[in-house]
Structure 1
Amino acid sequence: MTGYARAQGADDLRRWVWEARSVNGRNLEVRCRVPQGFERLENPARTAAGAKLRRGNISLSLTVASERSSKPLRINRALLGELSVLVAEMRQAGATAPSADGLLRVRGVIEEEEQGEESEEALVRLDKALSDTLDAALKALASARAAEGKALATVISGHVDEIEGLCTRAAERAQAQIGTVRARFQTQLAELLDRAPALSEERFAQEVALLVGKADVREELDRLSAHVAQARTLLAEARPDNPVGRKFDFLCQEFNREANTLCSKSADIELTRIGIDLKGAIERMREQVQNVE
């Protein structure tokens, strides 16, 4: 969900630039920064971003610059008149009076002329132009995120294949786990029989069945296989108008839950190693899923 876009516009009085940045985020969070006097655009900008994006931390910034190199100048005639009176008095007193250009250098004699406020109609046109430029920036940002998503689909698909391969290995190893449990129980039983009465064959079979049942991971493997199929379905259905990031994020939690149960029920070192590798593959996929809208 990372991306950057920029769009600019201008009218007779000013030019402006909208910049839109996006980084990963579980939910949608939009921050907007505008110049003083344009605060009215913040809420509409957030609404526009929410209409095009579903997840990520979005930063919008607006820069506005005047097209005029400087403001028109005017002479403060009232102040100049007061200074002229003082100059006349100085001359009457025989003092050296300042020249005309000296008077013009006095602070406040020459001022920048303030522009009048724009009409309501002009402000409406300006806001419409600024909104159109923002829309262009958001569309470009969405396109950049979509391009990243297309590349991520290949990466995530590779993680799904890795998880499926580990599940296949775990299923094969789970069959050998039954024999491991039986052999371990027999060894422990032999140690107990040295200090306890003989155990009947029927009781022995019951104990073995109980241990095997606790170590049976077929249910977890079946759910993992179902999750793999669901992950592939989500990848196939992912489109700009059909975001799947939240669903995929939840699916990764389910993947991790089954992998944890698999490790806790494992009675075989090799199966435990496979379970740990499986958790690592799921975590790598989850990190990439955080980039998916």
Structure 2
Amino acid sequence: MINSMTGFGRTELQTPDGQLQLEVRSVNHRYLDIQFKLPEGFRAIEQELRAIVATRLKRGKIDVSLSFKRLADKPLAGHVNVERTRQIIEQLETIAALVTNPAPIDPATVIRMPGVIEEEEIIPDTLYPAAREALTSAIAQLADNRAREGEKIHAMLESRCAEVITLATSVSERLPEVLTGIRQRLEKKIEALKVQIDNDRLEQELAIIAQKLDVSEELDRLEAHVQEVRNTLTTEEPVGRRLDFLMQELNREANTLGSKSADTETTQAAVDLKVIIEQMREQVQNVE
């Protein structure tokens, strides 16, 4: 069963230190491209989190976003920015020199000024298992989402494969009629010229024309490619690239069919085939 490359998963976990919220999104991509947006304290386990993603997903652009909301009774660690404090005091002293009988500089006032105290988020190691659990849960949601979308793509591709076979069969059934029409048109042209022509030579020319316009090989290859698409859809491994290659092969046969067409109905069938194959190709671009 095929999987889509588009999906979303979200998990929230409450821990003794606060709430973890993790979101993972995926869109189509040629390869597996994983991007993380993590609080600085979780960078130590980024490689472990990356391995969790790579175990479940094989292709797509994956964006993982993790946020941590600390409980109110869990204060942040902080330290004094000495350089910023020195600058503020110097500015206060400059102002004080311009004022008569200035009040002394109050340290309590200085410490409340922006930039004096820098708060630092300390992530305890005890949150790491929760982060792994949150990611595993979100990835499972995303994988289920991708699988459901893959089922829809599978059904659409099966439907289009049936349409390709129907068109190929109709063209194949009309081949004798097309060749008969070519013979009749050629005979009418010869009759209009009012000349005698050797029947053996006529048959030879008709055979050459029939050989040039023969599309039976293209139709056989179309059916073979469609069967390969159907076989590929039933495999468990990621098959997006293989399906993309098969779409190219189907399109090549449709182009050849159109170039060899000897009547309007065959030309229209070739156009319809190309439309169907393009619809399939657009869906295949989103297959893992």
Q: Summarize deviations over 1:226-252 as a string: whole Å, max 9, x none.
A: 2222233233x244xx33332222222
- Residue 257 (structure 1) aligns with: 252
Query: Matched residues in 2 for 1:259 and 1:219: separation?
Result: 12
Query: Matched residues in 2 for 1:137 and 1:255: separation?
Result: 38
Query: How far apart are 1:50 and its partner, in Å?
Result: 2.1
Question: Unpaired runs of 5+ in structure 1?
Answer: 80-94
Cα separation, partners in 2 of 1:105 and 1:155, compared to 1, 3 Å: same
Question: Unpaired runs of 5+ in structure 2?
Answer: 86-100
Tell whether 2:5 aligns with 1:4: no
Tell whether 2:41 aligns with 1:46: no
- Residue 130 (structure 2) aligns with: 129
- Residue 272 (structure 2) aligns with: 277
Query: How far apart are 1:142 and its partner, in Å?
Result: 0.5
Query: Matched residues in 1 for 2:259 and 2:121: separation?
Result: 75
Task: Letter of the 1:163 partner, please give it.
Answer: V
Q: Summarize deviations over 1:164-213 as a string: whole Å, max 9, x none.
A: 2111111122222212332343355557x57xx85422222211111100
Of 82, 107, 112, the match for 2:110: 107
Query: How far apart are 1:214 and its partner, in Å?
Result: 0.7
- Residue 86 (structure 1) aligns with: none
Give runs of aligned pairs for residues 1-293 of structure 1, distance below 5 A: 1-68=5-72, 70-71=75-76, 103=106, 105-108=108-111, 122-123=124-125, 125-189=126-190, 198-235=196-233, 237-239=234-236, 242-293=237-288
Cα separation, partners in 2 of 1:208 and 1:113, compared to 1, 3 Å: closer
Query: How far apart are 1:37 and its partner, in Å?
Result: 4.2
SS of the counterpart of 1:107? helix
Task: Letter of the 1:181 partner, please give it.
Answer: I
Query: Matched residues in 2 for 1:115 and 1:167: separation?
Result: 68
Cα separation, partners in 2 of 1:248 and 1:106, compared to 1, 3 Å: same
SS of the counterpart of 1:20? strand
Cα separation, partners in 2 of 1:57 and 1:97, compared to 1, 3 Å: closer
Cα separation, partners in 2 of 1:257 and 1:109, compared to 1, 3 Å: closer
RMSD (Å) for aligned C-alpha atoms: 3.2
Q: Summarize deviations over 1:65-100 as a string: whole Å, max 9, x none.
A: 22236548999xxx9xxxxxxxxxxxxxxx7978xx
Residues 34 and 62 in structure 2, CA contact (< 8 A), matched pair in contact too: yes
SS of the counterpart of 1:271? helix
Give the total of aligned pairs.
263
SS of the counterpart of 2:109? coil
Residues 32 and 58 in structure 2, CA contact (< 8 A), matched pair in contact too: yes
Cα separation, partners in 2 of 1:211 and 1:74, compared to 1, 3 Å: closer
Residues 180 and 267 in structure 1, CA contact (< 8 A), matched pair in contact too: no
Residues 39-48 or 24-33, more deviating: 39-48
SS of the counterpart of 2:61? strand
Cα separation, partners in 2 of 1:169 and 1:74, compared to 1, 3 Å: closer
SS of the counterpart of 1:38? helix
Cα separation, partners in 2 of 1:41 and 1:186, compared to 1, 3 Å: farther
Query: Matched residues in 1 for 2:121 and 2:276: separation?
Result: 64
Query: Matched residues in 2 for 1:3 and 1:46: separation?
Result: 17
Residues 259 and 275 in structure 1, CA contact (< 8 A), matched pair in contact too: yes
TM-score with structure 1 length normalisation?
A: 0.76
Query: How far apart are 1:130 and its partner, in Å?
Result: 1.4
Query: How far apart are 1:217 and its partner, in Å?
Result: 0.7
Residues 145-154 or 205-214, more deviating: 145-154
Query: Matched residues in 2 for 1:74 and 1:44: separation?
Result: 31
Task: State the percentage of identical aligned residues.
Answer: 38
SS of the counterpart of 2:72? coil
Query: How far apart are 1:270 and its partner, in Å?
Result: 0.7
Query: Matched residues in 1 for 2:58 and 2:77: separation?
Result: 47
Cα separation, partners in 2 of 1:171 and 1:73, compared to 1, 3 Å: closer
SS of the counterpart of 1:30? strand
